[in-house]
Structure 1
Amino acid sequence: MKLNSRFLKSILLLSSIIVLLVALVTPSQAMQVQISPTNPHLGDTLTLLIEQNRGAGEPSVTINQKTYPTFEIAPNRFRAMLPTTPLEQPGVRQIRVNAGDQVRNLAVQVKNRSFPIQRINLPPGKAGTSATQYELDRVAEFKKLVTPQKYWNGPFTRPNKGRISAIYGVRRYYNGKFAKDYYHRGVDYAGGVGSPVFAPASGRVALVGTVSQGFRIHGNIVGIDHGQGVTSAFLHLSRIDVKQGDMVKPGQVIGAVGSTGAVTGPHLHWGLYVHGESVDPVPWRERGFN
């Protein structure tokens, strides 16, 4: 019995040594990074899916000297979302991904996109309107939200049943003067006054503002935090049906179309933001970002 016991202990020790040696000489799996869409244009949201070794820690993503957060979507799998806008120059983006002692350098070509020109003539009462500092501060604070939890699931839905009257990215002249560094940061729906505005995806109401509080440009506004740096803003409302802190679901009525703020007529403006930058909502509706 003693010989058998010693023999078994020797076998177990030898097995442990072999396993350790194999672990030392076997190279660790290289970090895998997948970028989509594969053929992006200005205004698109870039998605990075990162698969790494266990224990490597949370990866970081840097592009144009700006670092973006990543969020774990499965064991050892992370995702980062990178916005692009019409004000950027098309061309190659250099992306650096760090995870523990592994580094990946990638390049993605972001192509140009033609955006239409629109001429807007604001009536005398609206032409001289400027945003209040309170309004600017509240909206800027809202756009900076990066909630770790992901509230949305699947493609976003239409926030209003009206026809689309202005697409994302339109450049504008206001009363004959070109608006430098401006592009239409969202999609306009020409719904009638009082027609319902729906939440396009789940989230938390993180901003409620009214004209009486000083929202002179945005008008009555509702902002929804969808989580992980993705936010939606709904402008020019005639009515607000939610309060700050409410959790909403897709299709839930959050207000009604109006003509408050700097507008030429009643409509809903829906702006979608990724890490504070306005991106095209259409891909979020057509294919979604799960």
Structure 2
Amino acid sequence: MVQGGAVIGTAPKGTTLLTFDGVPVPIAPDRRFLIAFDRDARSSALLVATLGNGEQVRHALTIGPRAWDISRLDTLPKYPVPRPEFERLRAPELAQINAARRMQSDSQGWRQQMLWPVTGRISTLFGSQRVYRGEPGSYHSGIDIAQPTGTVVLAPVDGVVVLAAAKPFTLEGNLLMVDHGAGLNSAFMHLSRIDVRVGEHVRRGQPIGRVGMTGRATGPHLHWSLKWRDSRIDPLLRAGPMPAAS
């Protein structure tokens, strides 16, 4: 277990309530469950299963640290849109994103082995961060995969579409979000085209859009991010090594 990772486990027989650091975690009928650890997760966490007879089974978890790619710059960040104007544009976009993340489906995609939505050169890793004159900027919340505009993007696992941007967002461009169940969701950014609609059930390997460079992007690529509740997850740990070019 490491920062940016996730675990699928099995609750003890007879469990009526499972908590992760005090917060209830859904348990499937077969007692399977999902938990994940944020990029900046602390070194320890606690799982507590409460059984039907009131007994509690406690399991302390150790979360390993990771070394992130940190760039220290003697400059200030550049904002292509003036800050007040950016914040005015951003507020309704964040409201849409947050509303989509609150949508829960009964998808079982969280159980499946993830495939890469696009294969190619990874141009930016999860967790990388720039520090501007000692002030940390926000870290990179997903993985960037460089591919030409128009490259087909596939659903990594089953899910339900919870957001399909009607117009490009300021940062994310054409944004698509898919809920995989159990609190896990994917976001696909900078798309040139979105090929699915809100409420649509998608299957692992199904085409869902096309690579682009809409929003804040310097070249065509797919930004793929994963989130479990409020924890950001490294897609590389869920999908495994990038397949070699054929």
TM-score range, shorter chain: 0.7 to 0.9
Name the CA shift for 1:109/1:67 in 2 (closer, same or farther; >3 Å): same
For the 8 Å contact 1:146–1:230, the answer to whether it is kept is no
Give distance in 1, aligned partners of 2:81 and 2:148.
Answer: 20
Aligned-CA RMSD value: 2.6
| Correspondence list, 1:254-269, <5 A | 254-269=208-223
| TM-score normalised per structure 1 | 0.72
Q: For residue 255 of structure 1, report the CA deviation from its aligned partner.
A: 1.2
Structure 2 counterpart of 1:237, which letter? L
Specify the alignment match of 1:125 in structure 2.
Answer: 80
Contact 2:110 2:184 in 1 (8 A): no
Aligned length in residues = 235
SS at the partner of 2:130?
strand
Residue segments in structure 2 that go unaligned for 5+ positions in a row: 242-246
The structure that has the greater radius of gyration is 1
Structure 1: segments with no counterpart, 5+ residues: 1-39
Q: What is the aligned partner in structure 1 of residue 194 from structure 2?
A: 240
SS at match of 1:81: strand
**Alignment check: 8 A CA contact 1:61 1:80 kept:** no
After superposition, the C-alpha distances for 1:111-165 in whole angstroms (9 at most, x for unaligned) are 1111112479987635754452221111112223332341455311111122111
Letter in 1 for 2:105: T
Residue in structure 1 matching 2:118, options 157, 160, 176: 160
**Residue identity in the other structure for 1:99:** L
Structure 1 runs, 4 residues or longer, greater than 3 Å off: 118-131, 176-180
In structure 1, what is the Cα distance between the partners aligned to 2:191 and 2:131?
24
Identity of aligned residues (%): 29
Partner of 1:45: 6
Which protein, 1 or 2, shows the higher relative CO under an 8 Å CA cutoff with sep ≥ 6?
2
TM-score calculated relative to the size of structure 2: 0.84
SS across alignment from 2:160: strand
Q: As a proportion of its length, which structure holds more helix?
A: 1
- Distance in 1 (CA, whole Å) between partners of 2:38 and 2:111 is 24
**Which of residues 128, 145, 155 is equivalent to 1:199?**
155
**Which range moved further: 278-287 or 219-228?**
278-287
Task: Map 1:1-290 onto structure 2 (within 5 A).
Answer: 40-53=1-14, 59-73=16-30, 78-89=31-42, 91-100=43-52, 101-118=54-71, 125=80, 128=83, 129-130=86-87, 132-151=90-109, 154-173=112-131, 178-180=135-137, 182-211=138-167, 215-286=169-240
Deviations 1:70-111 (A, max 9, x none): 2222xxxx122222112223x222221112222111111111
